Amino acid sequence: MKRIGIDAGGSLIKIAYEERGRLRLKTFPAKQTHEVISWLKLTAPEAALQVTGGRAEQIKADNQSISIFKEFTCVIEGTKYLLSEEKKLPDTDYLLVNIGTGTSFFHKQKRLSGTGVGGGLFTGLGAIIAGTSDYHSLVDLASKGDRTCSDLMVSDIYQSSYSPVEASLTAANFGKDQLDQSVSAEDQLAALTQLIGETIVLLSSLTANSLATKEIVMIGGALTGNPLLKQVIGSFESMFDYNLTFLEKGGHAGAVGALYYDE
């Protein structure tokens, strides 16, 4: 390995490198910075480290020879590379939505806006609900839950009359009586995933509409290994009339951008 791209984010440290001509990816929890440094020293002590992300300086403290690049640029350029590699959406104007610890919205070379609703909210509230902040455990629990046990649905309100909107929509997130002991941690985590997905969908659709584009590309660590969140986001595609593209390696877009960064 001649060089390694690293995206040191708020929740995860993502790594991208080439080995025998193929792109390889690794992920560490952000709290395992020392383990990352140990892996780098053991695996590729001579490799040039190209780092981005909010925790980049923490890695620099252990290795002064690294280069640090702008996070947003790396995310945008890494997405372009992956779109080409995965043969999706070539040369098309699109809104880029990066769902990480929080969520950011990009268009072309500019970050437009962002929200604190993302993976950090999921693990933070998840720890309160389920007593663990382990992301994979929380995702697994959410996949087993029934969010309608926690969410107040439109169908719950219009039980015997015509509903003015789709009955399967959410009337109020976490709107049912939480004193009901039948509402499990799994149900509440499923509802939390729904809340996060709905919020991101609403903001994404409004932003895409303001840009006069129907193409939305979704990336970010919060989508990695989280089919329920993808399902929630995808379920609104026809309702809001946009075209969704999920990148298989999108959780590592920043690291990939750092790896191939060319000043």
What does residue 131 show for φ and ψ, rounded to 5 degrees?
A: 80, 15
pLDDT computed for residue 167 by the predictor:
85
Contact 230, 223 (CB under 8 A): yes
How far, CA to CA in Å, does 210 sit from each of 94, 99, 107, 213, 226? 12, 20, 11, 8, 28
- Alpha-carbon gap, residue 243 to 139, rounded angstroms: 25
Q: Is the pLDDT of residue 91 over 70?
A: no
Token pair 């660590």 is found at 221
* 83 pLDDT tier (thresholds 50, 70, 90): very high
By mean pLDDT, which of 16-20, 179-183, 252-256 is the weakest?
179-183
Catalytically active residues are 71
Q: Which residues contact 256 (CB under 8 A, 6 or more apart)?
A: 5, 16, 23, 78, 81, 82, 249
What does residue 179 show for φ and ψ, rounded to 5 degrees?
A: -80, -10
pTM recorded for the entire structure: 0.91
3-78+253-259 CATH choice from 3.40.50.300, 3.20.20.70, 3.30.420.40, 3.10.20.30: 3.30.420.40
Q: Is the pLDDT of residue 181 over 80?
A: no
Radius of gyration of the chain (CA): 20
3-state secondary structure of 66: coil
Domains 3-78+253-259 and 97-246 share a fold: yes
Contact 189, 142 (CB under 8 A): yes
Which residues are bridge partners to 25 per DSSP? 16
Which residues are bridge partners to 103 per DSSP? 99, 115
User: DSSP class of residue 132?
Assistant: -
Angle 110-5-35 (CA atoms, 0-180°, nearest 5)?
A: 125
Domain boundaries, the chain: 3-78+253-259, 97-246
Q: Is the pLDDT of residue 180 over 70?
A: no
Residue pLDDT, tens place only, 196-211:
999 999 999 999 999 9
Residue pLDDT, tens place only, 119-164:
999 999 999 999 999 999 999 999 999 999 999 999 989 987 788 8
Annotation: CATH topology of 97-246:
Nucleotidyltransferase; domain 5 (3.30.420)
The continuous run of DSSP H or E covering 44 comes out as none
pLDDT computed for residue 179 by the predictor:
60
Q: 142: closest CA among 201, 192, 195?
A: 192
* 173 pLDDT tier (thresholds 50, 70, 90): very high
Residue pLDDT, tens place only, 217-249:
999 999 999 999 999 999 999 888 899 999 999
Q: What is the mean pLDDT of the chain?
A: 91
Q: Is the pLDDT of residue 263 over 80?
A: no
User: DSSP class of residue 220?
Assistant: S
The continuous run of DSSP H or E covering 189 comes out as helix 185-210
- Percent of the chain's residues with pLDDT above 70: 96
- Alpha-carbon gap, residue 100 to 201, rounded angstroms: 15
pLDDT computed for residue 209 by the predictor:
95
